[in-house]
Amino acid sequence: MSTIFRIFRSHVWAKSPFRVFFSNCRKEPIPVSWKKPEFGWTKLNFDGSCKCETGKASIGGVLRDHNATFLLGYAQSIGKTSSTVAEFAALQRGLELVLENGYTDLWLEGDYKTLVEIISQKRDVKCVEVQKHVSCINLILPEFRNYHLTHVYRQGNRLADKFAKIGHELKCPQVWLVPPDEVMKIVNEDANGKAIRRLR
């Protein structure tokens, strides 16, 4: 076999979708689950959703305690915007609700890693709309006695994702103190520590 042919073949194989597929098959999936906060803490999971075909976005989130007890859920449609803006809007709305309800020790968790980095590392952002949300978030956070913000894979953020998707169907913002029927399956699975497998 000529050297040129071997180089060509290796180059084609390197970019082949079959190589990507077989590479993923070799990777061991990791279990991802929602984790309960410590005693005395409440946990806010939040998410934004954006429909590619229409550009319409919605937000949602859920607050639970150390027993995985459902405290409140929220969702709303926020019109046409980017998925990034939706993520920040979801966190801001969740923080406002937490503040209104008097919780003081808070674990914040979302599946958009860039948001976690921007808030945690106080990074600058160029988008004016995102800047507005970041400013509001930074004003609210010092109101809590303790808080920390972490990233979780989407498989560990399923309930917030479900509320965000419900938001697409709403004509006005909604808050639930009792979980609606369409989310009960995930509520129970999270409370029981069900793990969803994710490829690395």
43: CATH: 3.30.420.10
Q: Kindly report the average pLDDT of the chain as a whole number.
A: 91
Q: What is the mean pLDDT of residues 59-64?
A: 98
Give 28's pLDDT tier (boundaries 50, 70, 90). confident
Q: What is the pLDDT at residue 156?
A: 97
Task: State both tokens at 169.
Answer: 């169907």
Is 8 inside any structural domain? no
Is 96 inside any structural domain? yes
| CB-neighbour burial class of residue 54 (10 A; exposed 0-12, middle 13-18, buried 19+) | exposed
Residue 17 in this model has a pLDDT that exceeds 70: no
Is 1 inside any structural domain? no
Please state the three-class secondary structure of 134-192 as a single string. HHHHHHHHHHCCEEEEEECCHHHCHHHHHHHHHHCCCCCCEEECCCCHHHHHHHHHHHC
The answer to whether the beta carbons of residues 32 and 153 sit under 8 Å apart is yes
Q: How many domains does the chain have?
A: 1
Residue 14 in this model has a pLDDT that exceeds 70: no
Task: Determine the straight-line distance between the first and last CA of the chain, rounded to whole angstroms.
Answer: 36
Is 89 inside any structural domain? yes
Entry field: residues in the chain: 200
Closest CA to 192 of 15, 74, 39, 36: 36
**Domain that residue 44 falls in:** 32-193
Is 82 inside any structural domain? yes
Report the predicted TM-score, pTM, of the whole model to 2 decimal places.
0.86
Is 6 inside any structural domain? no
Is 14 inside any structural domain? no
Q: What is the pLDDT at residue 19?
A: 60
Task: State both tokens at 99.
Answer: 């503040």
Q: What is the pLDDT at residue 58?
A: 98
Is 2 inside any structural domain? no
